[in-house]
Chains A and B, each alone.
Chain A
Amino acid sequence: MMVPAMGAAAAGRAASARTSAARRAWARYRANPLAVVGLVWVLVFFLLGIIGPWVAPHGYAQTNYLMANHPPTWAYPMGTDSLGHDMFSEILFSIRFALEIAIFASLAAFAVGTVLGLWAGLQGGWVDASLMRIVDFFFAFPAYFLDLILVTKFGRGMGPIIFALAVTGWAGYARLIRGLVLGMRDGEMVEAARALGASPLHVAARYLFPNVVSNMLIALAFGIPGDLTVQAALSVVGMGLNPPLPSFGNMIAAAGGNILGYPWLLYWPAGIFAVTLLSFLFVADGLQEALNPKGGY
């Protein structure tokens, strides 16, 4: 009778320790005004991404040649582009597509990187050595070029771009988690768990992962805006998401070419994109300070 009761009490203590740690992190986060402002905009951005396709007044491929390159009016609150697309609707759909690409690519890279990094760190030996060789390869040259080549090969749709970003993204997560695991692998916690008969999988899932998850979250918070940037940057050289699918990169690149005649085409896309990237950075920075107050980069 005693043992389960103690176990429950210990579990309760552990849970309350965890919630109070989270509460303290949240208090630290709230103390940073830029992080709070950033979080508000990021949430608005996500909300727009979810409801955007329903509230958009026009379809993203719907053109009106009679109103091409028109300054803002009541019907087209942000003006129209050279094909007569409603810029307001284009932006709402872009938010949706940009978020879909960035989130799926980041999560895929995160999942692959986490599993491989945990495996390499725990296993050591030739697994570690060969995995880290591959990681070094991805770090040795700019990933953007590999993205370009992959997109050329597989096409410029949503799927191929997500795939390309995931292929070049996982190495960073793998290296990070492998380093963290190496630091803990021979520590007392893992030794104690092993002594009690825990399997390597159990050690990884129950002891190592919870201890690295805050660092991984910070990395993910930096990774999502990174993917937003790269995906827009593909459009700058003309290899981004295939029109008529709208994207911030295409809008910014197109507006950059037409800027002397129709500057209003740039204000909203560039403005929203810039504010979004800044907000994501403020959030990531705030998370870093809140979850990892001792240091970091």
Chain B
Amino acid sequence: MGVFRYILKRLVSILGTISAVLALSFILMHYAPGSFFSSANLASAMGTLRMENAHLYASYMQMFRDRYGLNLPLWRQVLEYVWHSLSFNFGNSFENPSVPIMEQLRTAFPISAGLALGSIVLALMVGFPLGVVAALRRNTWVDSVLTTLSMAGQALPSFVLAVILVLVFGVWMPGLVPVNGWGTPANVVLPIVCLAAGNVGVVTRYMRGSLIESLRQDYIRTAEAKGVPYRSVVWRHAVRNSLTALVTVIGPSFAFTVVSTVWVENIFSIPGLGTLLSGAFVDDDIPLAITSVFLLCLMVMGMNLLVDLSYALMNPRVRLE
């Protein structure tokens, strides 16, 4: 019976955390240099108006303040901002005021979500067999090469890997795969490889360690003593036991993968949330900046909830609490 209560509890806690993030970012950004009036378009238009007609300028400013609630005390602004954001009404951005932020996100969000999820799937597909191979050939050169490579994959942040790949496929071997842009299937190759590399390392190392551990267990010796062929001892008894916990290994690295998409999108000029986010921070476009942070955090927290649920589903010994 606990599942629904558990989900409800988690949703409430996600709501609380995300509201705190929103409020904190709004308050910090409120005191940051950029403001609605410093956006490029408005500043030049209002500057001209101020020179030509000071009275009209003042009444316009008053109108803006009334319309956007800039006269309200800060706590009311924060509450309203959090409330509107939670109902997915993000308002309009400073730099691009004619388009609601929702419209800008509608194309950007699926790109980033697709990249993040796709890279996780790729990492599982590559890292799982590599880890099994490393465990079965443990303490040979195959194992050391795989272990070192997976450590390298974990140590190198995706933006370093990305520029290295751009160097390899843009300068040394141009024409093989595009190193820039978005829209064709070939554009997906390099970004997703960059994003997957770290998780391939995580999965490989986990599978290796866990499988070596499993192969030492009593029930493996029992299976071998019964005369079960080695291949099925490995695949049906040992590997299967390692699989359930694999989900929990991927869970924490999902947050890092989402952050990595921000970097990778910037380097490969992909029109996703990450590019939107960095542009917003550089231009002091506060609403767009907070909104993209909000959505990326929501993605991470939703994924963590799914991971915990599926872990409980696969492993009946786990009690949700």
Contact = CB atoms under 8 A, between A and B. Distances in A.
Interface of A: 34, 137, 140-142, 144-146, 148-150, 152-153, 225, 229, 232-233, 236-239, 252-253, 255-256, 259-260, 263, 266, 270, 273-274, 277-278, 280-282, 285
A152 B32 CA distance: 7
Contacts of A229: 157
B160 A141 contact: no
Nearest to A255: B163
B20 A238 contact: no
A270 B255 contact: no
Of B151, B163, B281, chain A has the most CB atoms within 10 Å of the CB of B163
B164 A274 contact: yes
B157 A277 contact: yes
Contacts of B170: 259-260
B255 A34 contact: no
Contacts of A137: 17, 20
Contact of B282 (A239, A266, A277): A239
B203 interface: no
Given A137-B17, A278-B155, A278-B156, A237 B277 contact: yes
Given A152-B32, A282-B151, A141 B21 contact: yes
Contact of B171 (A236, A253, A260): A260
B104 interface: no
B167 interface: yes
Q: Interface size for chain B: under 10, 10 to 19, 20 to 34, or 35 or more residues?
A: 35 or more
Contacts of B258: 142
A142 B28 contact: no
The B contact surface, by secondary structure, is helix
A140 B297 CA distance: 8
A166 to B, nearest CB: 16
A199 B29 CA distance: 45
The A contact surface, by secondary structure, is helix
A158 B42 CA distance: 32
Contacts of B160: 252, 270, 273-274, 277
Interface string B252-279: 0001101100110011000000100110
Interface in B40-90: none
B154 interface: yes
Contacts of B24: 146, 149
A50 B289 CA distance: 38
B163 A259 contact: yes
A174 B256 CA distance: 20
B162 interface: yes
Given A153-B31, A237-B282, 11 more contacts: A142-B256, A142-B296, A142-B300, A144-B259, A152-B289, A236-B263, A236-B266, A239-B281, A253-B159, A256-B267, A281-B154
A148 B263 CA distance: 13
Contacts of A274: 156, 160, 164
Contacts of A278: 151-152, 155-156
B38 interface: no
Contacts of B267: 236, 253, 256
Nearest to A260: B170
Contacts of A263: 167, 171
B199 to A, nearest CB: 15
B301 interface: yes
B255 A252 contact: no
Contacts of A144: 259, 262
